[in-house]
Amino acid sequence: MTVTLRSLDVAVPATELPQEAVRDVLAAQPDLSRLGQRLVATSFNSSGIERRYSALDEWDGPPAEGEPVFFDAETRRFLNPTTGVRNAIFAREATELYTRVAAGALEGAEGIEAADVTHVITVSCTGFFAPGPDYRIVRSLGLNPSVQRYHLGFMGCYAALPALRQAQTICRADPQAVVLVATVELCTLHVRTSNDPDTIVGSSLFADGAAGAIITGRDLPSSTPVLQLDHFETVLTPVGEEAMAWNIGDNGFEMVLGTYVPHIIDEHIVDALAPLLAHEPTLEGIPYREIEQWAIHPGGRSILDKVEAKLALEESQLVPARETLRDFGNMSSATVMFVLEKILRTAEPGTSERVCSMAFGPGLTVETALLTVHGAPASATGS
DSSP string, 167-235: HHHHHHH-TT-EEEEEEEEEGGGG----S-HHHHHHHHHB-EEEEEEEEE------SS-EEEEEEEEEE
The Cβ of residue 337 has, within 10 Å, a number of other Cβ atoms equal to 33
334-375 pLDDT, tens digit per residue, is 999 999 999 999 999 999 999 999 999 998 999 999 999 999
The Cβ of residue 264 has, within 10 Å, a number of other Cβ atoms equal to 21
Kind plus residue range of the DSSP H or E element containing 310: helix 301-310
Gyration radius of the chain over CA positions: 20
What is the rounded average pLDDT of the residues 267-284?
Answer: 95
- For the ranges 7-21, 150-164, 239-253, 349-363, which has the lowest average pLDDT? 239-253
Q: Does residue 380 surpass a pLDDT of 80? A: no
Total structural domains within the chain: 1
Q: Are the C-beta atoms of residues 356 and 368 closer than 8 Å to each other? A: yes
d(CA 355, CA 358): 10
b/e sequence 56-95, b meaning 16+ C-beta within 10 Å: bbbbeeeeeeeebbbbeeeeebbbebebebbbbbbeebbb
d(CA 338, CA 324): 7
* Residue 64 forms part of a structural domain: no
* Residue 40 forms part of a structural domain: no
Q: Does residue 33 surpass a pLDDT of 90? A: yes
The helix-helix angle for 34-45 and 19-27 (nearest 10°) equals: 170
DSSP label of 241: T
Q: Are the C-beta atoms of residues 297 and 262 closer than 8 Å to each other? A: no
d(CA 40, CA 71): 18
179-229 pLDDT, tens digit per residue, is 999 999 999 999 989 999 989 999 999 999 999 999 999 999 889 999 999
d(CA 161, CA 159): 5
* Residue 113 forms part of a structural domain: no
Is pLDDT larger for residue 285 or for residue 5? 5
Select from 156, 165, 91 the least CA-distant residue to 331.
156
d(CA 186, CA 90): 7
What is the rounded average pLDDT of the residues 255-277?
Answer: 89
Kind plus residue range of the DSSP H or E element containing 269: helix 261-277
Domain CATH code at residue 274: 3.40.47.10
* Residue 101 forms part of a structural domain: no
Could you give the 3-state DSSP secondary structure of residue 36? helix
The pLDDT of residue 257: 78
Domain that holds residue 305: 226-381
What is the rounded average pLDDT of the residues 307-330?
Answer: 97
Q: Does residue 35 surpass a pLDDT of 50? A: yes
* Residue 63 forms part of a structural domain: no
What is the rounded average pLDDT of the residues 102-116?
Answer: 97
* Residue 162 forms part of a structural domain: no
293-314 pLDDT, tens digit per residue, is 999 999 999 999 999 999 999 9
* Residue 200 forms part of a structural domain: no
Taking the CA atoms of residue 32, residue 35, residue 36 and residue 37 in that order, the dihedral angle to the nearest 10 degrees is 80
84-103 pLDDT, tens digit per residue, is 999 999 999 999 999 999 99
User: Which are the contacts of 144, defined by CB distance < 8 A and separation ≥ 6?
Assistant: 115, 117, 118, 138
The helix-helix angle for 160-173 and 335-345 (nearest 10°) equals: 70
Q: Does residue 379 surpass a pLDDT of 80? A: no
Q: Which residues are catalytic?
A: 157
Q: Does residue 382 surpass a pLDDT of 70? A: no
Q: Are the C-beta atoms of residues 348 and 319 closer than 8 Å to each other? A: no
d(CA 19, CA 329): 9
- For the ranges 121-125, 205-209, 257-261, 365-369, which has the lowest average pLDDT? 257-261
* Residue 288 forms part of a structural domain: yes
Q: Does residue 383 surpass a pLDDT of 50? A: no
